[in-house]
Amino acid sequence: MLKKQEYAAVGETVYTGETSSGLGVTVVQKPGYRKSMAFLAVNYGSSHREFKLGGRLCRTPAGTAHFVEHRLFEVEGGDNALTTLSERGANANAFTSPDMTAYHFECTDFFYENLALLLNFVSTPYFTQEDVERERAIIAREILSAEDDPEDAVYYGLLRCLFETPALRENVAGSVESIGEITAQTLMDAHRAFYVPGNMALVVAGDRDPARILDMAEELMPGSPAPAPVKLAGPPEGPLPVTVSARRPMDVGAPLFLAGAKAKCDLTGPESVRFELTANLALSSLLGEASPLYRELYDGGTVNETFGYDFENTWGASMLSFGGETQKPEYVCMRVLEEAAKLAAGGIDPDFFQRRKRAALGSALRALDSFETVCYNAAAGRFAGYDYFDTVKVLEEVTAEDARAFLAEYMALERCAISIVDTKG
């Protein structure tokens, strides 16, 4: 049974339902669009390395979730689902993040045929040790290539400064050493544990028949409900970084830095959404392109267009970050913290904050035109217990005082760490 809901604030019509085996199905109607997207997500990512299944403690090597994603496109008989989707004119791909694995395609024709293939290959694993050995070499090259990427280096440098838990510090793909421990049985165990309908979500955006999509999911996904594993996050992270700085020389034209701090990560549902929106409004008020500090640094030539900020809120971890190319990474970091302290003490100008808020509302509404953004956020919302299409309503409730309090608590000097990639010599 599908439930239809109209979201007048954002102009969207959404159908939601669930198969008898527990798979969440969401169809976002886009009348008149020829293009459609299907997005099949699993509540399983690189951070989920330890879990309990049936009372048994299970540990998997770093990179297991990413390895499963790579291998699932290969189906029994030697065919490749990605190749088949491409031959039908679909633009298909997959990704693994710290808390999600997702498989998706976008197409204008053969939508239902492509959807049937997606549901089938994701739910029907085919792992042989020979294929695992071949894939191991491919992923190892991917890992080594990432190690030579300055942006990856500065990002993972910051993670290692901030977090103690190994699963939060490591590359999503793992290391060459960790993937060496992965076998076909490792992949099969992970798939059996996490790729159960109750731990997954199907989201479709386009002008398609919601009832037909639900019927297909009911028919093609496993029919018996299975319990999802209990994910173990490890000991709670303290508020302070493990170490305050990391530095690495690389072949770059200009130094690159990323600074940041851990934030609250134990919120769920609407509270989690409100916290994330508050964080982004606080950072926009402090560091957005319209902010006084950004104009000071940019107009003075201290930073360039690479300078920006981010807020990540994933399972077991939450952090703010800011950085870019500059000859003065420590100076820029300290100016940011000084300005944050100033705003925390004196407050954010109400008129300026309202302009930032209106800009954020505009961005949220424009994001609804991106099928991939809509599908990703709808799936993430199901896993985290909130309704993505209520985001605009929640955003309107965030105040300048909320943003000021965020800066006061999380942008303090003692909470901050910095990762720097220097030019060689």
Q: What is the pLDDT of residue 362?
A: 95
- Which of 209, 231, 253 terminates a domain? The answer is 231
Shared domain for 40 and 182, answered yes or no, is yes
* Residue 60 included in any domain: yes
Which long-range CB contacts under 8 A does 183-188 form with residues at least 24 apart? 183/129, 183/132, 184/127, 184/128, 184/129, 184/131, 184/132, 186/60, 186/61, 186/64, 186/67, 187/64, 187/67, 187/68, 187/71, 187/125, 187/127, 187/132, 188/125, 188/127
* Residue 238 included in any domain: no
Q: With H, G, I as helix, E, B as strand and everything else as coil, classify residue 236.
A: coil
DSSP 323-384: EEE-S-HHHHHHHHHHHHHHHHHH---HHHHHHHHHHHHHHHHHHTT-HHHHHHHHHHHHHH
Shared domain for 150 and 16, answered yes or no, is yes
Q: What is the pLDDT of residue 231?
A: 83
The percent of residues above 70 in pLDDT, for the chain, comes to 100
CA neighbor of 285 nearest in space, from 320, 255, 258: 320
Q: What is the pLDDT of residue 39?
A: 98
Model pLDDT for residues 207-245, shown as the tens digit of each residue: 999 999 999 999 998 776 777 788 887 788 899 999 999
Q: What is the pLDDT of residue 228?
A: 76
Shared domain for 306 and 414, answered yes or no, is yes
The CATH number covering residue 84 comes to 3.30.830.10
pTM (two decimals): 0.94
Residue tagged 């018996």 (tokens): 224
Q: What is the pLDDT of residue 234?
A: 73
Shared domain for 211 and 272, answered yes or no, is no
CB 70 within 8 A of CB 212: no
* Residue 236 included in any domain: no
Q: With H, G, I as helix, E, B as strand and everything else as coil, classify residue 404.
A: helix
Shared domain for 221 and 352, answered yes or no, is no
- Which of 167, 200, 231 terminates a domain? The answer is 231
Residue tagged 């059996």 (tokens): 192
* Structure-token pair, residue 278: 């508050």
User: In a 10 Å sphere around its CB, with 0-12 CB exposed, 13-18 middle and 19+ buried, how is residue 408 labelled?
Assistant: middle
- Which of 172, 206, 231 terminates a domain? The answer is 231
Q: What is the pLDDT of residue 67?
A: 97
Positions in the chain short of pLDDT 70: 224
CB 243 within 8 A of CB 416: no
Q: How far apart are the first and last CA of the chain?
A: 65
Residue-number span of the structural domain to which 306 is assigned: 245-423
Shared domain for 74 and 183, answered yes or no, is yes
CB 321 within 8 A of CB 286: no
C-alpha distances out from residue 394 to 9, 58, 273, 293, Å: 11, 38, 8, 27
Q: With H, G, I as helix, E, B as strand and everything else as coil, classify residue 220.
A: helix
Q: What is the pLDDT of residue 79?
A: 83
- Count the neighbouring beta carbons within 10 Å of the beta carbon of residue 314: 18
Shared domain for 168 and 290, answered yes or no, is no
Cβ-proximal residues to 82 (8 Å cutoff; 6+ apart), any chain: 73, 92
Q: What is the pLDDT of residue 300?
A: 97
